[in-house]
Structures are given as C-alpha cells and as structure tokens.
Amino acid sequence: MARTSESPTGTGTGTGASARFSAMADRVSSSAIRDLLALTEQPEVISLAGGKPAPETFPVDDIRAAADAVLARDGGAALQYSATEGYRPLREWVAATEAPGGVEEVTITAGSQQGLDLAARVLVDPGDVVVSADPGYIGAIQAFQLAGAEQMGMPSDRDGLRVDVLADRLAGGLRPRVVYVVADLSNPTGATLPEERRYELARLADRYGFWLLEDDPYRSLRWAGTAPPPLAGRCERVVRLGTMSKVLCPGLRVAYLVAPPEVSEAVVRVKQGADLHTATLSQRIVHELVSRPDFVTSRLATLPGLYRARAEALAGALRDHLGQAIGFVEPDGGMFLWARLPGVDTAALLAAALRAGVAFVPGAAFSITEPHPEHLRFSFATVSPVELDEGVRRLASVL
C-alpha cells in the first residue's frame, strides 16, 4: 500500500481527501446495520431493524438511587482512576457465579464489544482463521476484522452452529485459532446450541487446540426452552463474555470477560493500552445494584415477559399478514426473529419497505461466507404489539 510516510516526497503534501490510513483502518468497514439505522430513525418508520433493548425495562430509579448512594459514600474514589482489571468487589460478584477458578479470571470490560476486541487482540494474529456460525453477529465480525483475522463462516441450522460440519473441516485440515459462539439465543437466528453440540465443540477445542470465544449476552432473556450449561467449564480453552447490558442497561458499558489466568493477564495488559480501565462510576453503580439481595433475581423473573409478549405479537402478525409467504422459528428468548421470504431478495425489498414505513435488516448484513439473500432479521425488543402488527402489515403491502 503506497502511503505518504512510505513514499517521501520532500515537498508539501497536505492531507486533503488523499489521506490514507493503516491497513487495519482500511479493513474495517462501517456496519451495514449502522448505516441502515441512520435511514430508519425517521419517526414515521416503524423500525424492526434495531438491536437495542427496551428502555422502559431499565431500572432508572434504582440506578439513580445507586449513583447517589455511591457518590455520597465513596466520594472522590468513585470518580478516580481505578484498576485496569476492574472494581474488585464487582469482579468478585462475577467470579462467584462465573469463575470457579477465582477472581483472577475476571476482567471488567467496557461492554461485551470491548471483550470481543480485547479477546481478538490477545488471541488473533493477522491471517489467523476465526470460525463463526453463518449468519453471525456483526460486532464480532468487526472485532475480528480489526485483528486481521481470516473469517470463515460455518453453516448453522435452527440449533445453531453445525458442529458436525466443523468436525469434518477440522478432520480435513482446517486449523482455526478461534471459534466464536453465541450458544444461547444467538443474534441473528435466536438458536440455542443443544447439549450434544456443546459437548462435541469442547472436545474439538481440546483436540485441535483452538480457543472457544463464548459470547453470552442473551441468556437472561429466555422465556421458553432450556439452556444447557455454558461452554466455559467444559474445557480450558474458553474465553467467556457476559454483560450487564441486557439485565440492567447497555449505556453504563459494563460487561465482563472470564478466561484462564494467563489469558486474563494478557487481556489486562492490552486493556491498559486500550482505555486504562472501565468507567469507575459505572462499575460502582452496577455493583451497588447487583449486591442488593434479590435485585438480579427479581429482574430475571420479570424481564423476559415483556420480550415474550412482543415476540408473540410479531410472530402472530407475520402469520396473519404473510402466512405461507414467510418461514420462521418462534424464538425462545432474546430480541430477534430470523425469517425467510423464499424467492425474495430482502436487500432489494428494504428500499420499498422503507418507503412503506417499515424497516428490518436484510440477511446479507450478517453474512460471513454465505449471502443469506432471502433472509431477514426483525427486532421486536423496542416495539409495542400494536406497532409490530402495523409494521408487518406495511411489509406485506409491498410484497
């Protein structure tokens, strides 16, 4: 790549539109969802395209009281620089349920997106192969792009990643550095990986020496079916990401990464250069809330109900207005419904849908290897049942 710094001119060059950036910056493309969301935020559009949790579920008054209590009690310490690995009482709270090996395995991250970035920076060299179920989560695709990974999609079905296909590819010589898995209520498909596939995946990780990067943001939003135990604990080569974004709210940017101590140590070294530490006040607010008896339990007891009502409203509207024209599996939880319109190019459909006042995300946006041209993702998380019905009616009108 020809760049100014590598092609000395000895004459004025300025910057202008000809400025070039690092190979990393060139690699990462802006998210298709993000570009799309800019178009779908007009008030007249019913957006089933978003990826945000329902803000009316955020415990605003509890957070307000917690912020006040933390600042009144801790004063300047709640606003000072703090440890890169995170606020120790919060790490201990995470360790109690997530890290049998102890607090040294836990790093507090600025959201799970930073967990993905740190894990990718620690584990992946440019050119290393990273395998994900295809379709996959766009934020993970971006983090692996930044690390220069060679990304490879594996087929998935209604039970998630086809571990049998992965096993065949491994037997054929594939040597991934990382296999990325959203085992519970995956984005975009909503699939949950069954016990047999989890068992086999852990066995393969041990056998072939790759890392499992287990991203688990949606576990707390389940209303049907059951989740087998996580991948973490099944083999030593697991980096597990959990988050407070769905159980509390995403705007505090508090999540956690759990990994063997030597991986956690490398993660902390990279995080020190990346942002020194996660916001002190955010961490202390979260700890203040989660350490209240029954706070998390009572939220987990009530939270999925609202999402369930919306998912059922969406599924009902799809059946009512589109009938046999659309195929989908009703989600067991999470925020998304993945559907297929046989014979329809969903990327082309989007423009017409926007004119009719409804938005969704075309399957192509989640592509790793396969294009998913007939698929689309609906988010029901922030839309009322009445609007879900109206949105689907509008979509049906342009089909």
Residue 2 binds a second copy, judged by CB under 8 A: no
Helix axes 60-74, 280-290, angle to 10 degrees: 110
Return the residue of 89, 101, 260, 385 that touches a second copy, per CB under 8 A. Answer: 260
Residue 79 binds a second copy, judged by CB under 8 A: yes
Question: Do residues 181 and 215 lie in contact, with contact meaning Cβ atoms separated by under 8 Å?
Answer: yes
Count CB-CB contacts under 10 A for residue 378: 30
Residue 280 binds a second copy, judged by CB under 8 A: yes
Least distance between a second copy and beta carbon 155 (Å): 22
Torsion of CA 209, 139, 280, 25, to 10 degrees: 90
Looking at beta carbons only, is 148 or 316 nearer to a second copy? 148
Q: Is 211 helix (H, G, I), strand (E, B) or coil?
A: strand
Return the residue of 266, 325, 347, 399 that touches a second copy, per CB under 8 A. Answer: 266
Judged by CB under 8 A, the chain residues 47 through 76 that form the site for a second copy are 51-53, 55-56, 58, 60, 63-64, 67-68, 71-72, 75-76
Least distance between a second copy and beta carbon 323 (Å): 34
Plot region of 173 (φ>0 → left; ψ -120 to 50 → alpha; else → beta): left
Looking at beta carbons only, is 135 or 176 nearer to a second copy? 176
Judged by CB under 8 A, the chain residues 95 through 114 that form the site for a second copy are 110-111, 113-114
Give the strand pairing for 46-47 and 358-359. Answer: parallel
Of residues 97, 104, 57, the one with CA closest to residue 216: 97
Residue 129 binds a second copy, judged by CB under 8 A: yes
Residue 152 binds a second copy, judged by CB under 8 A: no
Question: Do residues 360 and 366 lie in contact, with contact meaning Cβ atoms separated by under 8 Å?
Answer: no
Judged by CB under 8 A, the chain residues 219 through 248 that form the site for a second copy are 236-237, 248
Judged by CB under 8 A, the chain residues 155 through 184 that form the site for a second copy are 173, 175-177
Least distance between a second copy and beta carbon 111 (Å): 6
Q: Is 180 helix (H, G, I), strand (E, B) or coil?
A: strand
Looking at beta carbons only, is 269 or 393 nearer to a second copy? 269
Burial class of 117 by CB neighbour count within 10 A (0 to 12, 13 to 18, 19+):
buried
Question: Do residues 279 and 81 lie in contact, with contact meaning Cβ atoms separated by under 8 Å?
Answer: no
Looking at beta carbons only, is 148 or 373 nearer to a second copy? 148
Q: Which stretch binds a second copy (CB under 8 A): 121-129, 307-315, 327-335, 385-393?
A: 121-129
Of residues 173, 190, 168, 177, the one with CA closest to residue 132: 177
Residue 276 binds a second copy, judged by CB under 8 A: yes
Return the residue of 160, 190, 230, 250 that touches a second copy, per CB under 8 A. Answer: 250
Q: Sheet holding 327-328: strands in order across?
A: 327-328, 336-340, 375-379, 361-362
Looking at beta carbons only, is 118 or 341 nearer to a second copy? 118
Return the residue of 45, 99, 143, 311 that touches a second copy, per CB under 8 A. Answer: 143
Return the residue of 40, 45, 107, 117 that touches a second copy, per CB under 8 A. Answer: 117
- Say how far apart CA 29 and CA 147 lie, in whole Å: 13
Looking at beta carbons only, is 346 or 382 nearer to a second copy? 382
Judged by CB under 8 A, the chain residues 328 through 387 that form the site for a second copy are none
Least distance between a second copy and beta carbon 212 (Å): 11
Give the strand pairing for 160-161 and 150-157. Answer: antiparallel
Return the residue of 269, 370, 373, 393 that touches a second copy, per CB under 8 A. Answer: 269
Looking at beta carbons only, is 122 or 296 nearer to a second copy? 122
- The token pair at 304 is 């999925």
Looking at beta carbons only, is 121 or 321 nearer to a second copy? 121
- Say how far apart CA 141 and CA 2 lie, in whole Å: 27
Q: Which stretch binds a second copy (CB under 8 A): 9-17, 97-105, 315-323, 389-397?
A: 9-17
Judged by CB under 8 A, the chain residues 14 through 53 that form the site for a second copy are 14-17, 19, 21-25, 28-31, 34, 51-53
- Say how far apart CA 153 and CA 40 lie, in whole Å: 28
Which residue's entry shows tokens 């979260």?
Answer: 286
